[in-house]
Structure 1
Amino acid sequence: MNHTWKRTMSMLLAMGMLTLSIPAQGIAASVDTSDKVLSNLGITDSVLVASNAEVTRAQFAQLLLNTSSFKGKTGTTVNYRRFSDVPTDSTYAAAINIAAQQGWMTGYLDGTFKPDQPVKLREAVYGVLALLGYTNEDFTGDQTQGRTSMYYAKELDEGLALVTMESNLTMSNCEALLYNTLKANTKSGTMYGQIFDCELDSDGEINYLKLSDNNINGPIRVTASKDIEKILPFSEQNATYIIDGEVGYNLDYNSVEEDDIVYYSSKTRTVWVYQDDRASGEVTGIVYDNSSSMTPVAVYVEGTKYTIESEEMQYAFSTLGKVHVGDEITVVYDDQTSTTDPDNYNFVLKGYLLDD
Structure 2
Amino acid sequence: MNHKWKRTMSVLLAMGTVALSIPAQGFAASVDTSEKVLSNLGITDSVLVGSNVEVTRGQFAQLLLNTSSFKGKAGTTVNYRRFSDVAADHTYATAINVATQQGWMTGYLDGTFKPDQPVKLREAVYGVLALLGYTNEDFTGDQTQGRMSMYYSKELDDGLALVSMESNLTMSNCKSLLYNTLKATNKSGSMYGQIFDCELDADGEINYLKLSDNNVNGPIEVTDSKDIGDILPFSEENATYIIDGEVGYNLDYNSVDVGDVVYYSSKTRTVWVYQDHRDSGEVTGIVYDNSSSMIPVAVYVDGTKYTIESEEMQYAFSTLGEVHVGDEITVVYDDESSTDDADSYNFVLKGYLLDD
TM range (shorter): 0.7 to 0.9
Which protein has greater RCO, CA pairs closer than 8 Å, 6+ apart? 2
Instruction: Give the letter aligned to residue 67 of structure 1.
Output: T
CA, structure 1 residues 119+105, in 2 after alignment: closer, same or farther (shift >3 Å)? same
The answer on whether the counterparts of 1:90 and 1:249 sit within 8 Å (CA) in structure 2 is no
* Partner residue, 2:308: 309
What residue is the counterpart of 1:353 in the other structure?
353
Aligned to 2:169: 169
Compute the RMSD of aligned alpha carbons.
Answer: 2.7
1:228 corresponds to: 228
Q: Which amino acid aligns with 1:199?
A: E
Partners of 1:337 and 1:124 lie apart in 2 by: 23
Matched, 1:83 2:83: yes
- What's the CA shift for 1:149? 1.3
In structure 1, the residue matched to 2:159 is: 159
- Residues in 2 aligned to 1:204 and 1:211: alpha-carbon distance in whole angstroms: 14
- Cα deviations by residue, 1:207-230 (Å, 9 ceiling, x for unpaired): 111111111111110112111111
Whether contact under 8 Å (1:308, 1:314) holds in the other structure is no
Q: Distance in 2 between matches of 1:300 and 1:162?
A: 38
* Preserved contact between residue 297 and residue 308 of structure 2 (Cα < 8 Å): yes
AA aligned opposite 2:53: A
Counterpart position of 1:192: 192
Say if 1:126 and 1:296 are closer, same or farther in 2 by CA, change over 3 A: closer
Q: TM-score, normalised by structure 2?
A: 0.85
SS in structure 2 of the partner of residue 236 of structure 1: coil
Distance 1:177 1:297, change over 3 A: closer
In the TM superposition, residue 108 of structure 1 has moved relative to its aligned partner by 1.0
AA aligned opposite 1:131: L
**In structure 2, distance between residues paired with 1:127 and 1:159:** 18
Is the alpha carbon distance of 1:12 and 1:87 closer, same or farther for their aligned partners in structure 2, counting shifts above 3 Å? same
Alpha-carbon deviation of 1:350?
2.3
Matched-pair contact (CA < 8 Å) for 1:240–1:252: no
Residues 160 and 173 in structure 1, CA contact (< 8 A), matched pair in contact too? yes
Aligned pair 1:68/2:60, yes or no?
no
Write the letter of the residue equivalent to 1:55: V
Q: Measure how far apart 1:349 and its partner are.
A: 2.9
- Is the Cα–Cα contact under 8 Å of residues 289 and 296 in structure 2 kept in the other structure? no
C-alpha displacement at 1:329, in angstroms?
A: 3.4
Please tell me the residue identity of whatever aligns with 2:81. R
- Asked whether the 8 Å contact 1:306–1:349 carries over to 2, the reply is no
**Deviation of residue 242 (structure 1)?**
1.2
Q: 1:160 to 1:345 in 2, by over 3 A?
A: closer
Confirm whether residue 257 of structure 1 aligns to residue 277 of structure 2: no
Q: CA deviation at 1:293?
A: 7.2
Pairwise CA distance, 1:194: 0.2
2:24 corresponds to which residue? none
Q: Is the 8 A contact 1:296 1:308 kept in 2?
A: no
Normalised to the residue count of structure 1, the TM-score between the two structures is 0.85
Shift of 1:285: 3.9
**Residue in 2 aligned with 1:268?**
268
- The whole-number CA distance in structure 1 between the counterparts of 2:146 and 2:288 is 54
Residue of 16, 25, 29 corresponding to 1:14? 16
* Alpha-carbon distance in structure 1 between the residues aligned to 2:320 and 2:144: 57
* Residue aligned with 1:219, SS: strand
Distance 1:143 1:346 in 2: 41
